[in-house]
Copies of this chain bind each other. A is one copy, B any other.
Amino acid sequence: MTVEIGVEDIEDIALGATVLGTGGGGGPHVGKLVAQQAIEAHGPVELISPHDLSDDSFVVPTAQMGAPTVSVEKLPSGMEAIASLKRLARECDRQVDATMPIECGGINSTFPFAVAARLGLPVVDADGMGRAFPELQHETFNIYGVSGTPAAVSDEHGNTCLIETAENDHLEWLARGVTIRMGGVAYVSDYPMSGKQVKDTAIPGTMSLARDLGHALRTASDDAMDAIRAVTRSSIYGEAQSLFEGKIVDVQRRTEHGFVFGFVDIDGLESDEGKTMHIEFQNENLGAQIDDEYVATVPDLITVLDRETGDPIPTESLRYGARVRVLGIRTPEIMRTDEALDVWGPQTFGLNTTYKPLKH
């Protein structure tokens, strides 16, 4: 089944992916504008199911890499990511049949549509994180055996680094080093894949899920929570649940080694009165505790919403005094296997707890 993604759909995907982005993946605004501009100029983009890919087709994911705090200051023209895709195509000596996102997150769900519109490519309705994660090994592609390299990292000055590693584990370290040198934000194409590898390893349907979530949120007549619940209920994710309501009383953020690290503290309101939620993040929300007890951790989704509007709030926009609702969504099966938890379970981020899936 082929779907056309137009300017309005990008609005929905950007919003919905920010819910799935768990605070990270970059604020949605920039990626949305870049994608909408490209679609206005070149026409709508085909969103294709992984199952529509022939096994030997050649798929090159595209993404922005860097700290969200830098990303909102250093705006892209939309051409930078094309350089990394083209570099990889030249290296592999293949025509690219489709691009796709490597994660669901504000900027990286819509960025591939900008690339696709300009190059006349379809976007695969899938990604490798099913949410946003901070590092390049946090990919089902990596977990289930796809090589991350050759990978190309490019910047707005026409510089490109083509990285080849003996093991996927070195890719993040090297690409992040290059990204820092490129000014804290760069554009990456990694995990070049065959259609068969996409079908075997990607999390399917996440772009349509983002679009449906965004559409529901934008058109929800009253309670945003009900809209999100309704959409997630019929997805491969668990049904969204409200974990906490309160007022932000502390936010700490530091941009270090190309990431934004920190935490937010939320004092409970109404039924949560008297309790405090503490959320740690590294670009994305990693773990949520109520009074020092973990109630949700990676890989499950923890998303902070504006309590009035239902809008998801990215990590870099959390601010003192905001009234918020914290949402939890259980991730699909493919993201909760033992192999997957070895790569993105709570302990891999230094959280002193084991993964207990959210109910529903």
Give A residues with C-beta under 8 Å from B. 87, 157-167, 170, 173-174, 176-178, 180-182
A163 contacts across to B, CB distance below 8 A = 159-162
A162 with B161, Cβ < 8 A, contacts A174-B178, A178-B177, A181-B173 known: yes
Contact B170 A165 (CB under 8 A): no
Determine the residue in chain B with the shortest Cβ distance to A177.
Answer: B181
**Nearest 5 CB-CB pairs, A to B?**
A158-B166, A177-B181, A162-B162, A159-B165, A160-B164
Distance (Å) between the CB of A183 and the closest chain B CB?
10
Interface of chain A, main secondary structure: mixed
Among candidates B87, B157, B164, B165, residue contacting A166 with C-beta atoms closer than 8 Å: B157
Bound-state Cα–Cα, A167 to B87, Å: 17
Bound-state Cα–Cα, A181 to B166, Å: 15
Among candidates B159, B176, B177, B182, residue contacting A164 with C-beta atoms closer than 8 Å: B159
Distance (Å) between the CB of A257 and the closest chain B CB?
11
A158 contacts across to B, CB distance below 8 A = 165-166
Contact B174 A161 (CB under 8 A): yes
Bound-state Cα–Cα, A164 to B174, Å: 16
A166 contacts across to B, CB distance below 8 A = 157-159
A164 contacts across to B, CB distance below 8 A = 87, 159-162
Determine the residue in chain B with the shortest Cβ distance to A174.
Answer: B181
A167 contacts across to B, CB distance below 8 A = 157
Bound-state Cα–Cα, A166 to B154, Å: 11
Distance (Å) between the CB of A262 and the closest chain B CB?
24
Distance (Å) between the CB of A273 and the closest chain B CB?
48
A162 contacts across to B, CB distance below 8 A = 161-164
Bound-state Cα–Cα, A158 to B176, Å: 18
Distance (Å) between the CB of A153 and the closest chain B CB?
9
Distance (Å) between the CB of A100 and the closest chain B CB?
24
A160 contacts across to B, CB distance below 8 A = 163-164
Distance (Å) between the CB of A32 and the closest chain B CB?
29
Determine the residue in chain B with the shortest Cβ distance to A179.
Answer: B177
Bound-state Cα–Cα, A161 to B87, Å: 13
Bound-state Cα–Cα, A176 to B164, Å: 17
A159 contacts across to B, CB distance below 8 A = 163-166, 170, 174
Distance (Å) between the CB of A164 and the closest chain B CB?
5
Bound-state Cα–Cα, A161 to B179, Å: 13
Bound-state Cα–Cα, A167 to B160, Å: 11
Contact B178 A161 (CB under 8 A): yes
A165 contacts across to B, CB distance below 8 A = 157-159
Bound-state Cα–Cα, A177 to B182, Å: 10
A174 contacts across to B, CB distance below 8 A = 159, 161, 178, 181-182
